[in-house]
Chains A and B, each alone.
Chain A
Amino acid sequence: MNSKLYLAENVLNERHTVTYRSLSRSLKVHANRAKQILYEFHRTENAKRPHSVHATYVISGVQKPTAPPATNGHTKDEDEVMQSSPYLPSSMPNQEAASDVVSIASILLVREEDLEDAKATFESVKTIHVYSVQAAPLQDLNTLTTVCRELALTSTQDDPLECGSQWGMIQNRDVKRRSGTRPPPAAKAATTAKPESTVPAKRSLATKESAVRQENKPDESQPTSDSQSSVKSSSKSAAPQKGKSNLFSSFAKTKPPKPKHADSQATHSGADDVVPDDASEDDAEELFPESGDKAPSTNRETKKEREEKLKKMMEEEDADDEEMADADEEPQREPTPEEQPPPPPPSKAAELKEEVTVHGGRRRGRRQVMKKKTVKDEEGYLVTREEATWESFSEDEPAPPKKKPAVNVAKAKGKPTGQGNIMSFFGKK
């Protein structure tokens, strides 16, 4: 069955978190049905292997008045509301109106482990349904929001006015939307991390009409997610990717998309590379130490090595020639891609081809981007020399420890060159 396959692949193999809404969107089923599918999946999988799948639930209903402390004691001082009105000494009209008890319904998200505890706090439970399933218990429920945001980004090409009924959204007959100004599809993806994870798998499993859709509007689907297009047709998307890698690398923290790792990305855990930008990134990395990327790690390592080689070469170069004229650089840099035969066995022909383009893109990216990157990573260095900003470009955010020495080398080498510059200047005179 389609849904079982989808869930097995996403939850068990790729260890993604699947919410009922993401399931509903990718399989184009009603949200209520998606809830049932998740429940069924959770039940059957745990019957096969206990604790292989964990779920979160949503409980709605009326909580008991002695609710958790977060409730601010509404019930407590409800009847004191209008005790006296010092503003208007003569007016005390509405004692009885003030004491009307307002009904408070609660909608709570609960972990599987806490479900019984949570139910105990309810006076009456209206509904319980599965919110999400995932392979490991969630330490932090907030990680679910990344799934939701990802959903919002990936599903921009689905017009909610058309697809809403499929998902079970409440329809509205009176919606007024201006034609012409179609919302730009996920242009904002540049600011947040690229939703690389769920898209490929979804698309590959997705129904045919989605493929048709994408063919109909290629201009929309391509900028939306390049990892998706890389799965579908690598050759077709080569050109935009080249352009994109440049563009993306120029943004400070985002990882440039690595199309050649389409397969590895798919196995990569969704949680730790889709964590949105800033401070939360480190935490998320620590939270998911085990949601491992065994498969991509090898690929990544080799890539890091290559990068390092390239970097060292560049370092040596700028240690050597002090002028660093642009004209000199061009020919020297030229051979680098050829000098670096990719150490890992090239699994696909397409992979190799794209590598070259990416290298080209990266090289160019270096020169353009360097200024920003330098500011971020080595501030001390910036102070000493401003013109050599290009040399310290770090491509990936989660840098392996190997990278550190390389950076230090850069520093160590950079400083002497700066002084050497002056010395040679005086020497020449």
Chain B
Amino acid sequence: MTATEDYGYLRPPSDEKYDAVYRQPSSYNPLHTFTLPMGSDRHYQQQYGDMYFLRLAKLKPAVEKIATDAWGELTIAGESARRVDRVLDVRQGELCWMAGTVYMDMPLKPNILEDLTKETFTSAPPPRRTYTDPSNPSATQIMVEDESGRIRLTGNLLLSTQLATGVIIAALGTETVDGEFEVIDIKVPDLAPQPERWARGRLLPAESKEAGQEKSGKSGKIAFISGLGITGSSSDTLALELLSDYLLGYTGIDDSADPSRITRLIIAGNSLGASVTADAAATTADNAVKKKLAPKKYGYDASAYNSSPITQLDNFLAELLPSIPVTLMAGESDPANFSLPQQGIHRAMFPRSRAYCAPPSTGDNKQEVGWFDSVSNPWEGDVEGWRLWGCSGQNVDDVLRYLDFPSDDVDPVVDRDDSEARLRIMEAMLRWRCGVPTAPDTICRSLIMQRGRRNFLLITIPIGSYPFQTIDPFILESSPHIFFTGNQPVFKTTVIEAEGPFRLDGDMEMKDSDADTLNSRVRILSIPRFKDTGELILVDTETLEVEVIRFGAFAGQEEKK
């Protein structure tokens, strides 16, 4: 070592006494919006149409209000825009506007009937990154429907406006001679009203109130991570070890990223990379062996089931939990149900960590919030008073398939840089007031097709989501303060605001004044896959400012050899 600085550690051991460091208390109040009824109360016989009906009923007033504000006194060429209550009431040649649900008919969209007829593929279809057919853009039809019927939209505006099935819009235009609706303008519900911070009450644990005085005014941090992708092999966990060292405070950084300020870790899905290992195992050398393993085995088969990933995840969590509360969201590759909303990974999967779970609910008692909370996907809840709404990434991935990007001519296997599009989709979701617009239409169904064929699962009816009857939980009734999506290729963040009419006065003053209460501001986080990027996202609990901590190994001379 030639370094002259010792950084406190590169020196002989001293008898320095280290004070115990205490983590700042966490205030946590999850909402159970996406928790499905248990067991026998969960039915799949219902029709999905109800969900669209509910969604339209819920969002139509909002979008109509915005449209009325915008188009109420609008006159074009002496003709004033008339509001039409039902889609079918549109008259030809008349300037009018209507509200309804977008439905997109796309050539490559998975279709359940097609699925059934093509039950026996000779070869599995390649994973679809998009439902659009770049060679035949006109095959994509965009329609607006309501209870009465459907009308097809046309117009140049559609080329620049990107929509997805399930979005509620108001469209201004006229019906053409072909019976299509030529669109002039489109309005969406825009941001839902945002609750104030601590809207659901400050509930700090009792003990932490005593400790409150030593908070020393430092703001806390919420840590977000996703896509741990634990496979159980030795190759994936070095960054993970550094991560846990950091979170537990062994690798100290003393400035703003002081780990003791992190009050909660939120894991946004795909904690396991199990399917990767399964695929790799299936395709490589094991093939020959497997054929000869013909004698059937019943029960636990160590060769077919690899418990190592979940064991490692359990160990990882059990190590963190004594120090930091964890919210674990299920994800696409996690052992949970497949359709949205995914329910939390069952605590039985975590023999070591489950001691920190909430006790099983007994009777009608309100479920206590666990220190280790295995939650649904999507999930919403209050952390440090802020409303959080997050998904493990399926929502964005699926909407992305609806969109046609000019750069589509690249090789579909290669990941193009669609990170900006992803961020814009997230913004659009907030403005659509719908966190998962494409559920229950296509989301997950395509995924099931991809995964199902590969893993030879027997899937009779692909289900995009649970058929809710009385609510559509995917509606964002109130805007969250932090809207996050896991398992994105790269980290991105932005802040969006509702566009109120008074925003024209100037942005800066609005932001600094107490207009925050009037204007919703949402911090959008696109959380990268930890396995690929090694990044942990920290959000300040006072300012909602974002930091990134990156973990990894330095590729030195050994790797370059």
* In the complex, residue of chain B having the shortest beta-carbon distance to the beta carbon of A162: B322
- Known contacts A126-B253, A178-B359, A142 near B234 by CB under 8 Å: yes
B364 at the interface (CB under 8 A from A): no
Shortest beta-carbon distance from B274 to chain A in Å: 13
A251 touches B (CB below 8 Å):
yes
- Chain A residues near B303: list those with CB within 8 A: 252
Assuming A58-B242, A90-B499, A103-B548, is B207 touching A174 (CB within 8 A)? yes
A81/B237 in contact, CB under 8 A: no
Q: How far is the CB of B159 from chain A (nearest CB, A)?
A: 9
Question: Contact: A172 with B322, CB < 8 Å?
Answer: yes
Residues on A with C-beta less than 8 A from B250 are 20-21, 24, 31, 167-169
B20 touches A127 (CB 8 A): no
B7-15, B108-116, B172-180 - interface stretch: B7-15
Please give, as numbers and ranges, the residues of chain B lying within 8 Å of A173 by CB-CB distance.
22-23, 25, 207-208, 211
- Interface readout for A153-172 with B: 1 if CB under 8 Å, 0 if not? 10010001100110111111
Contact status B556-A110, CB under 8 Å: yes
A139 to B559, CA, bound (A): 8
Are B248 and A170 touching (Cβ within 8 A)? yes
- Contact partner of A107 (CB less than 8 A), chosen from B232, B246, B289, B495, is B246
Q: Is B251 an interface residue (CB 8 A)?
A: yes
**Interface assignment of A12: CB less than 8 Å from any CB of chain B:** no
Docked complex Cα distance between A117 and B556 (Å): 8
- A residues in contact with B358, CB < 8 Å: 176
Contact B23 A172 (CB under 8 A): yes
B216 to chain A, nearest CB (A): 15
Q: Which of A71-123 contact B (CB under 8 A)?
A: 71-74, 77, 80-83, 85-91, 93-94, 96-98, 100, 102-111, 113-119, 121
- Say how far A20's CB is from chain B's closest CB, in angstroms: 7
Structural contact, B235 and A114, CB atoms closer than 8 A: no
Which residue in B186, B188, B428, B493 is a CB contact (below 8 Å) of A102?
A: B493
CB-based nearest A residue for B421: A86
Cβ of B251 and Cβ of A30 under 8 Å apart?
A: no
Q: B208 touching A37 by the CB < 8 A rule? A: no
The answer, yes or no, to whether A298 is at the interface (CB within 8 Å) is: no
Report B-chain residues with C-beta under 8 Å of the C-beta of A160: 319, 322-323
Q: Is the CB of A88 within 8 A of B323?
A: no
B314 to chain A: which residues have CB within 8 Å? 188
Cross-chain contact A81 with B492 (CB below 8 angstroms): yes
> In the complex, which residues of chain A have a beta carbon less than 8 angstroms from the beta carbon of B23?
170-173
How far, in whole Å, are A391 and B496 apart by their CA atoms in the complex?
Answer: 71
B448 to chain A, nearest CB (A): 27
Decide yes or no whether B346 CB sits under 8 A from chain A: no
Binary flags per residue of B232-253, CB closer than 8 Å to A gives 1, else 0: 1111011011100110111111
The stretch from B254-262, B336-344, B463-471, B477-485 touching chain A is B254-262
In the complex, A36 Cα to B355 Cα: how many Å? 34
**Closest chain A residue to B353, Cβ basis:** A183
Q: Which residues of chain B come closer than 8 Å to A165, judged between CB atoms? A: 20
Cβ–Cβ contact A168 & B3, under 8 A: no
In terms of DSSP, what is the predominant structure of the interface of chain A? mixed
Residues of B within 8 A of A140 (CB): 558
Asked if B457 lies at the interface with its beta carbon under 8 angstroms from chain A, I say no
B43, CB-defined interface residue at 8 Å: no
Of B80-88, B135-143, B304-312, the one with at least 4 CB within 8 A of chain A: B304-312
Which of B235, B312, B352 lies in contact with A142, CB distance below 8 A? B235
**CB within 8 Å for A40 and B3 given contacts A173-B211, A178-B357:** no
Query: Which of A90, A91, A94, A169 is B323 in contact with, Cβ under 8 Å?
Result: A169
When distances are taken between beta carbons in the complex, the residues of chain B under 8 Å from A379 are 289, 292-293
- Given known contacts A33-B13, A93-B503, A191 and B554 CB-to-CB distance under 8 angstroms: no
Cross-interface CB contact of A144 among B238, B292, B556, cutoff 8 Å: B238
Q: Which of B431, B549, B553, B558 has the most CB of A within 10 A?
A: B553
Indicate whether A39 sits within 8 Å of B9 (C-beta atoms), given known contacts A87-B428, A142-B238.
yes
Kindly state whether residue B324 has any CB partner on chain A within 8 Å: yes
Bound complex: CA A290 to CA B332 (Å): 43
Instruction: Flag whether B473 is at the interface (Cβ < 8 A).
Output: no
Are A141 and B318 interface neighbours, CB within 8 A?
Answer: no
Interface string of B421-434 (1 = CB under 8 A from A): 00110011001000
Contacting residues, chain A, for B255 (C-beta < 8 A)? 126
Cross-chain contact B427 with A85 (CB below 8 angstroms): yes
What chain A residues lie within 8 Å of B1 (beta carbons)? 43, 115
Beta-carbon contacts under 8 Å, B1-53 to A = 1-3, 7-14, 16, 18, 20-23, 25-26
Residues of A within 8 A of B312 (CB): 149
Are A176 and B371 interface neighbours, CB within 8 A?
Answer: yes
Using Cβ atoms and an 8 Å threshold, which residues of chain B touch A80? 420
Is the CB–CB distance between B14 and A36 below 8 Å? Answer: yes
Interchain CB contact under 8 A, B552 and A70: yes
Given A98-B494, A106-B550, are A170 and B260 also a contact pair (CB < 8 Å)? Answer: yes
Tell whether, in the assembled complex, residue A126 and residue B254 are in contact, meaning their CB atoms are under 8 Å apart: yes
Is A277 in the interface zone, CB < 8 Å from B? yes
Separation of A132 and B177 alpha carbons in the complex (Å)? 77
Does residue A366 face the partner (Cβ distance < 8 Å to B)?
no
Alpha-carbon gap, A138 to B557, bound state (A): 11
Minimal beta-carbon separation of B145 from chain A (angstroms): 20
Give Cα A424 to B249, complex, Å. 74
List residues of chain B with CB within 8 A of the CB of A21.
245, 250
Contact A97 B495, beta carbon cutoff 8 Å = yes
Nearest-Cβ distance from residue B346 to partner chain A, whole angstroms: 15
8 Å CB contacts to B: which residues of A216-248?
A: none
Judge if B105 is at the interface, Cβ distance under 8 Å: no
- Per-position 1/0 for B157-182, Cβ under 8 A of A: 10011110000000000000000000
- Set B240, B370, B417, B552: member contacting A106, Cβ < 8 A: B552
Residues 539-550 of chain B, each 1 if its beta carbon lies under 8 Å from chain A, else 0:
000000111111
- Given A32-B8, A88-B428, check contact A127 B234 (CB 8 Å): no
Judge whether B557 and A169 touch: CB under 8 Å: no
Min C-beta distance of A352 to chain B, whole Å: 34
**A127-151 interface with B by 8 A CB criterion:** 127-130, 137-146, 148-149
**Complex: A251 Cα to B307 Cα, angstroms:** 13
B168 to chain A, nearest CB (A): 13
Which B residues lie within 8 Å of A90 (CB)? 499
* A35 to B: closest C-beta gap in Å: 4
Whether A276 pairs with B420 at a CB distance below 8 angstroms is: no
Is A128 within 8 A of B9, CB to CB? yes
B538 to chain A, nearest CB (A): 9
A325: CB under 8 A from chain B? no
Residue on B nearest A43 in the bound complex, by CB: B1
Our pick among A31, A105, A125 for the contact of B550 (Cβ within 8 Å) is A105
Given A145-B234, A176-B370, A87 contacting B431 (CB threshold 8 A): yes
> Which residue of chain B is the closest to A69 with respect to CB atoms?
B555
Question: In the complex the two chains form, is B9's CB within 8 Å of A127's CB?
Answer: yes
User: Per-residue 0/1 for B35-75: is the Cβ within 8 Å of any A Cβ (1 yes, 0 no)?
Assistant: 00000000000000000000000000000000000000000
Q: Which residues of B contact A3 (CB under 8 A)?
A: 13
User: What separation, in Å, do the CA atoms of A82 and B186 have in the docked complex?
Assistant: 20
> Considering the chains assembled together, what is the distance between the CA atoms of A30 and B292 in angstroms?
53
Given A104-B548, A106-B550: A39 touches B352 (CB 8 Å cut-off): no
Given A87-B427, A149-B312, CB of A129 within 8 Å of CB of B9? yes
Nearest A residue to B495 via CB reads A97
Contact A130–B499 (Cβ < 8 Å): no
- Distance in angstroms between the alpha carbons of A130 and B9 in the assembled complex: 8
Is the Cβ of B556 less than 8 Å from the Cβ of A111?
A: yes
When chains A and B are docked, how far (Å) is the Cα of A191 from the Cα of B1?
Answer: 41
- Shortest Cβ distance from A80 into B: residue: B420
Listed by A's residue number, 6 A-B pairs whose Cβ atoms lie within 8 Å are A32-B252, A33-B16, A87-B427, A168-B250, A170-B23, A383-B292
Beyond A39-B10, A87-B427, 18 extra complex contacts between A and B, CB < 8 Å = A30-B18, A35-B9, A39-B11, A43-B12, A68-B555, A96-B507, A102-B546, A102-B548, A127-B7, A140-B558, A142-B237, A169-B322, A170-B323, A173-B22, A174-B208, A174-B371, A177-B371, A280-B235
The 6 closest A-B pairs by CB, nearest first: A114-B556, A129-B9, A170-B249, A160-B322, A36-B13, A183-B352
